Amino acid sequence: MGFNRYASTGGKEKKIALALRYHQPLTNETSPSLLEKRILEYLDNQKSLGMNIHTIRGQRFYLEVFFKWCMERGIEDPNQMTISLVDRYQKYVSQYRNQVTKKVITPETQNHILISMKTLYEWMQRREYIVKNPCWNVRLVKTPKRIPRNILKVEEVEKMLLVPDLESGLGVRNRAILELFYSTGIRRFELQKLKISDVDLVNRTVFILEGKRRQDRLIPMSERASDWIRKYLEEVRITLVKGPDDGTLFVSVRGGKMDTSRIGEVVKAAKEKAEVEKKGSTHMFRHTTATLMLDNGADIRHVQEMLGHRDLNSTQIYTHVAIRKLQEVYEKTHPSAESLDNTSKNKNVDTQASDTS
């Protein structure tokens, strides 16, 4: 069974799983079960409706958890699932362990797995492939609101930006990548998909075509990022392209579009060489961009538009770490905000005043 090769919900196995084409058979059986056929048909339907390929690959990965569970229990027809079996599956998911770390998966990952099953059955119900939908009452796990902790300081970012070797073409390319991440906070796959035509170096804008949930957006970039992209385009890119040129902005050493994993490695290498001890790679820049903009007075709706968040609640999480204004108010209003030295001086002044009175 194909699932066993990449059953983990994280690490290298997940990267392998997501790299596979979404419609690859789930098993090596010559006569696949009806459940397998429905899952593959569902994924193919999502593609035809225009769903982002990264989202589809993610759904396939989570549905394989469900598929494996069903196969181990002899459930080959979607109609065999009952409300009782759904409850049992929910319990199984709540105890599911990452096969690499051996830790129970996070509540967020549990919900992804449950939602993928629920959405599959809703689709089959609309197609009249099933008599009843046993997943109508699936209960999602309560997830804590996690505050981003890998916000970079400006000094840390600047150290990372200085890492690439500017004497080499790849160094110039990598500097342009880092500058664009820092300037815009775009997602890794959004940067990977960029074409030269998406970047306006005169007006300093970047057009994101079909970002998450297929939302297009036009966002600004810094003059510095624009300058480095111009340098990369004028001096380096032409030396990297091999074969037909499809206009991809950032090109790999093999001459084609860079893999998302390679883009992540560029950021990770810069972080390690700059001795920045924070977890994460490309998303660090996204968190940092949002936090710094809010800290410097940006309207939250402008930050929402910049990041491409559909829900304002996704952006509001950054208000919990953008605390510069809160610190300013605190220092002006809270009695204990003064330093120990100032408190002692004030106490001495008060004592001297009482002695002379």
User: What are the catalytic residues?
Assistant: 187, 212, 283, 286, 309, 318
Rounded Cα distance between 160 and 272, Å, is 9
Cβ-defined contacts of 196-202 (< 8 Å, 24+) = 196/233, 196/247, 196/248, 196/249, 197/247, 198/249, 199/229, 199/249, 201/226, 201/229, 201/230
Do 63 and 112 meet the contact criterion of CB atoms below 8 Å apart?
Answer: no
Helices 53-72 & 83-94 angle (0-180, nearest 10): 110
Rounded Cα distance between 218 and 196, Å, is 14
State the Cα angle at 217 between 177 and 244, rounded to 5°: 55
Do 5 and 97 meet the contact criterion of CB atoms below 8 Å apart?
Answer: no
CA nearest neighbour of 262 among 335, 336, 170: 170
DSSP structure string for 34-55: HHHHHHHHHHHHHHHTT--HHH
Rounded Cα distance between 14 and 11, Å, is 6
CA nearest neighbour of 38 among 11, 85, 70: 70
Rounded Cα distance between 288 and 155, Å, is 12
Please state the φ and ψ torsions of residue 325, each to the nearest 5 degrees: -65, -35
Rounded Cα distance between 171 and 236, Å, is 10
Do 250 and 172 meet the contact criterion of CB atoms below 8 Å apart?
Answer: no
Rounded Cα distance between 149 and 195, Å, is 32
Rounded Cα distance between 247 and 196, Å, is 6
Do 300 and 312 meet the contact criterion of CB atoms below 8 Å apart?
Answer: yes
